[in-house]
């Protein structure tokens, strides 16, 4: 007799929300084991394979993920300890060397104020990575909570959230930054991060809402509800693990967008301002001297482009690994 396959609810992602549901419904159903090594079945050690273990296995074999991860790891290291490769002071300038090219000890040359472009480019990574990471965490947390609750409970709460997100989507991001940040006097990253969270959560909220609505219709959620599980347990143990993957993908790609947005706002003069060190500030300062000193514009803009590209590539790789339809 051919070996039977276990029953899986239609639309469920293997190994995520099923883990909590099996804990709750283990007494009412028996699941037959899959052959070892089968997709979604038991791994080499006899443990059930999950979506996350399969995704990690695919990511380790993906050259796009490896290349982007190495670039991001390097950016994190120089953000935490920029003096490892750039021991100079980014605020120390010498007007006598303004717009000069590469020299010994100054491989990137000098900008229009006589500041070392190499030192400022390395130290500027800290600002960009800090803004991108903090804004992404804030947007993902706020958007996931609001969207998840709206998708789970529905009704009036869902209607209010949907109309609120429509209002926020109608606000141009750059124009909103020019208006809101122009009245801020604090020259730190936190006003910029707060602005990005304020205008960025609706996108994550829409994604989280749709994922929760899809997950809550699965049979294992209905079984958990029939067995008397509380709404909090159903949402956290059964729905959230199946709904979090799209949020992670969108947030990873958006991280690079927030880094570019910080540079744009700083370039326009409403983000970070001198004497802060930022790629956007350096690009803005080097623009008038692009003919006489193109190196002062090339290096910070190149670092910004590589950083944004690395996070977008990472997001694409994570999306491919977490999409069950590609298996």
**pLDDT tens-digit profile of 9-22?**
444 443 444 444 44
- 273 vs 124, 127, 144, 276, CA distance in Å? 13, 12, 32, 6
Quick: pLDDT tens for 34-55: 444 444 455 545 566 676 788 8
- Separation of alpha carbons 100 and 110, rounded Å: 5
CA atoms 146, 151, 153, 159: torsion sign: positive
The mean pLDDT of 128-138, rounded to a whole number, is 94
Q: Which of 7-11, 26-30, 213-217, 231-235 has the lowest mean pLDDT?
A: 26-30
Percent of the chain with pLDDT over 70: 83
The structure tokens listed for 110 are 């000098």
Quick: pLDDT tens for 240-273: 888 888 899 999 999 999 999 999 999 999 999 9
The structure tokens listed for 119 are 């030192």
Please state, as a whole number, how many other Cβ atoms lie within 10 Å of the Cβ of residue 262.
28
Question: Is there a domain that residue 165 lies in?
Answer: yes
Question: Is there a domain that residue 25 lies in?
Answer: no
Question: Is there a domain that residue 293 lies in?
Answer: yes
Question: Is there a domain that residue 243 lies in?
Answer: yes
Question: Is there a domain that residue 48 lies in?
Answer: no
Boundaries of domain holding 183? 62-326
- 97 vs 64, 121, 265, CA distance in Å? 40, 17, 28
The mean pLDDT of 22-38, rounded to a whole number, is 40
Give 208-266 as a 3 state SS string: HHHHHHHHHCCHHHHHHHHCCCCHHHHHHHHHHHHHHHHHHHHHHHHHHHHHHHHHHHH
- Separation of alpha carbons 218 and 319, rounded Å: 22
User: 78-87, long-range: CB within 8 Å, 24+ apart, which pairs?
Assistant: 78/122, 78/125, 78/126, 79/125, 79/126, 79/129, 79/130, 80/126, 82/122, 82/123, 82/125, 82/126, 85/122, 86/118, 86/119, 86/122, 86/123
Contacts of 280 (CB under 8 A, 6+ apart): 262, 263, 264, 265, 266, 267, 271, 272, 304
Strand partners, 110: 116
Domain of residue 74, CATH code: 1.10.3720.10
Question: Is there a domain that residue 199 lies in?
Answer: yes
User: 98-103, long-range: CB within 8 Å, 24+ apart, which pairs?
Assistant: 99/289, 99/292, 99/293, 99/296, 101/293, 101/295, 102/295
Contact 302/117 with Cβ under 8 angstroms? no
- Separation of alpha carbons 173 and 294, rounded Å: 29
The mean pLDDT of 295-320, rounded to a whole number, is 93
Please state, as a whole number, how many other Cβ atoms lie within 10 Å of the Cβ of residue 96.
8
Residue carrying the six token digits 């990472």: 314
Question: Is there a domain that residue 286 lies in?
Answer: yes
Question: Is there a domain that residue 20 lies in?
Answer: no
Number of domains in the chain: 1
Quick: pLDDT tens for 64-86: 999 999 999 999 999 999 999 99
């Amino acid at each position: 007799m051919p070996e039977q396959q276990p029953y899986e609810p239609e639309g469920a992602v293997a190994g995520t929300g099923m883990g909590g549901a099996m804990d709750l419904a283990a007494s009412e159903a028996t699941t037959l084991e899959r052959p070892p090594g089968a997709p979604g079945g038991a791994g080499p050690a006899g443990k059930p394979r999950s979506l996350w273990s399969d995704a990690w296995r695919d990511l380790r074999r993906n050259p796009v993920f490896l290349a982007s991860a190495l670039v991001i790891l390097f950016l994190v290291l120089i953000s935490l300890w920029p003096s490892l490769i750039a021991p100079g002071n980014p605020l120390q300038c010498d007007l006598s060397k303004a717009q000069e090219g590469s020299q010994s000890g100054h491989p990137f040359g000098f900008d229009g104020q006589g500041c070392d472009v190499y030192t400022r480019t390395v130290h500027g990574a800290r600002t960009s990575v800090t803004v991108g990471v903090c804004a992404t965490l804030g947007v993902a947390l706020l958007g996931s909570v609001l969207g998840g609750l709206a998708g789970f409970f529905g009704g009036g709460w869902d209607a209010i959230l949907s109309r609120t997100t429509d209002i926020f989507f109608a606000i141009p991001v750059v124009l909103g930054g020019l208006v809101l940040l122009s009245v801020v006097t604090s020259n730190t990253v936190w006003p910029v991060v707060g602005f990005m969270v304020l205008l960025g959560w609706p996108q994550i909220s829409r994604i989280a809402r749709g994922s929760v609505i899809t997950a809550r219709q699965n049979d294992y959620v209905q079984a958990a509800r029939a067995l008397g599980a509380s709404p909090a347990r159903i949402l956290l143990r059964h729905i959230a693990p199946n709904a979090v993957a799209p949020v992670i993908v969108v947030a990873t790609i958006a991280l690079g967008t927030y880094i570019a947005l910080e540079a744009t706002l700083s370039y326009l003069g409403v983000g970070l301002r001198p004497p802060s060190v930022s790629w956007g500030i350096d690009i803005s300062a080097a623009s008038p001297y692009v003919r006489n000193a193109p190196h002062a514009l090339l290096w910070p803009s190149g670092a910004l482009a590589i950083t944004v590209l690395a996070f977008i590539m990472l997001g694409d790789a994570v999306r491919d690994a977490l999409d069950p339809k590609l298996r």
